[in-house]
């Protein structure tokens, strides 16, 4: 199922034609059709209208939500008190599918192709190959690192992101993000995949003014600013998406294809990261792990010359972004003036 947060913040199921079914009201309508005397009360408990509460209910809520969708598809359009059950694409304003209180862990340099191209651009390293990187990983010599994105930096589909005043080199990174479904700590890697509830798209916008470093303010400030984490349009549940490591990732800037890669190039998967991170920190339902990006960022394509990078390929006010991941959808963002 493709879960969305829409209009006033209610939980919905995104349909192929772009319409959205209000799952909570639709389930109440389904219960009423079965003769339930308190359909809305039962629906609030079984299929909550809040995204986080729904995730916390797990598989049971998802199974009941499927009954709600089937009820609407059987030509039922009103809830127990006349509530609207299905909204056309132009009636449903989608928000970021960000569960309340979620934290966002971001994997750094976690794709072979991106790491190789970034090394060539930033350090002039023309000799290292992907096979070399794979050998480093196998020997435990390739460092695992990352950072955190603040939830307050997240914006939804079709958002306008103000160009940060302190940069002239704003970059883009299409990423697939895994949403955790259960509270977990000290997770064995072999068990971690079962704890992933679903997947969404995050566009990791980054300040790149430092040629070989993230800039004078450090990595945290290079990754966290207003609108630096566009997210959406939906969370596709793990049962529907299938194998995340075969997904294609693409990103366009003003209609020009810049990133065209695959999750097959990922270095460490979500199970590894969840196991790694939960050594020291509890993860809760709704927490998010972003797996990194493929090659094609502005940084990848812009060699450092005389300690500087040409700003040509970096984002500018007015630019239109479209990050697309198969089976999940398309996330559009516009960069606005400072």
In order, the DSSP letters of 35-103 are: T-SSHHHHHHHHS-SSHHHHHHHHHHHHHHHHHHHHHHHTT--B-TTS-B-EE-GGG--EE----TT--
Tell me the CA distances in angstroms from 109 to 9, 44, 133, 184, 293, one per residue in order.
34, 42, 11, 25, 8
- The helix (H) or strand (E) run that includes residue 108 is strand 104-108
Give the strand pairing for 229-237 and 154-155.
parallel
Q: Are 211 and 304 in contact (CB under 8 A)?
A: yes
What's the DSSP call for residue 310?
A: -
Residue range(s) occupied by CATH 2.30.30 in the chain: 2-95
**Can you give the pLDDT at residue 216?**
55
Q: The tokens of 287 are what?
A: 């927490």
**Can you give the pLDDT at residue 122?**
84
- The helix (H) or strand (E) run that includes residue 325 is strand 320-325
Looking at the chain, how many residues does it have? 338
Q: Are 20 and 12 in contact (CB under 8 A)?
A: yes
| Average pLDDT for 7-19 | 98
Q: Are 6 and 97 in contact (CB under 8 A)?
A: no
CATH architecture of the domain covering 104-336: Alpha-Beta Complex (3.90)
Q: Is the pLDDT of residue 273 over 60?
A: yes
| Average pLDDT for 86-95 | 98
Euclidean distance between CA atoms 284 and 166, whole angstroms: 34
Q: Give CATH for domain 2-95.
A: 2.30.30
Q: Is the pLDDT of residue 211 over 70?
A: no
Average predicted confidence (pLDDT) for the chain: 96
**Can you give the pLDDT at residue 226?**
97
Check the CA dihedral 107-98-26-65 and report its sign: positive
**Can you give the pLDDT at residue 252?**
98
* Composition of the chain by helix, strand, coil, percent to 5: 30, 30, 40
pLDDT in tens, 15-41: 999 999 999 999 999 999 999 999 999
Residue range(s) occupied by CATH 3.90.850.10 in the chain: 104-336
**Can you give the pLDDT at residue 302?**
94
Phi and psi (nearest 5°) for 24?
-65, -50
């Amino acid at each position: 199922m493709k879960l969305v947060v829409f209009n006033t913040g209610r939980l919905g199921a995104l349909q192929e034609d772009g319409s959205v079914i209000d799952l909570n009201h639709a389930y109440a309508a389904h219960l009423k059709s079965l003769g339930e005397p308190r359909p809305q009360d039962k629906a609030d408990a079984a299929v909550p209208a809040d995204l986080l509460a729904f995730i916390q209910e797990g598989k049971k809520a998802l199974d009941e939500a499927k009954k709600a969708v089937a009820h609407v598809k059987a030509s039922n359009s009103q809830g127990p008190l006349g509530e609207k059950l299905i909204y056309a694409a132009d009636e449903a304003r989608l928000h970021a599918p960000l569960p309340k209180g979620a934290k966002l862990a971001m994997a750094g340099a976690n794709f072979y192709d991106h790491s190789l191209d970034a090394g060539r651009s930033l350090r002039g390293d023309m000799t290292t190959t992907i096979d070399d990187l794979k050998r480093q990983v196998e020997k435990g010599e390739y460092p695992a690192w990352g950072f955190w994105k603040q939830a307050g930096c997240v914006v939804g589909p079709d958002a306008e992101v103000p160009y940060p005043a302190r940069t002239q080199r704003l970059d883009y990174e299409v990423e697939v993000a895994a949403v955790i479904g259960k509270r977990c700590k000290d997770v064995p890697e072999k068990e971690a995949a079962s704890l992933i509830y679903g997947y969404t798209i995050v566009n990791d916008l980054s300040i790149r003014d430092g040629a070989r470093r993230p800039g004078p303010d450090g990595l945290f400030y290079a990754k966290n600013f207003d609108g630096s984490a566009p997210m959406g349009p939906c969370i596709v549940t793990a049962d529907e998406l299938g194998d995340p490591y075969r997904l294609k990732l693409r990103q366009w800037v003003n209609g020009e294809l810049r990133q065209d890669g695959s999750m097959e190039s990922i270095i460490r998967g979500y199970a590894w990261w969840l196991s790694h991170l939960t050594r020291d920190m509890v993860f809760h339902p709704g927490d998010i792990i972003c797996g990194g990006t493929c090659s094609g960022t502005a940084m990848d394509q812009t060699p450092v010359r005389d300690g500087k990078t040409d700003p040509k390929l970096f984002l500018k006010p007015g630019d239109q972004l479209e990050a697309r991941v198969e089976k999940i959808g398309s996330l559009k963002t516009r960069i606005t003036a400072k």
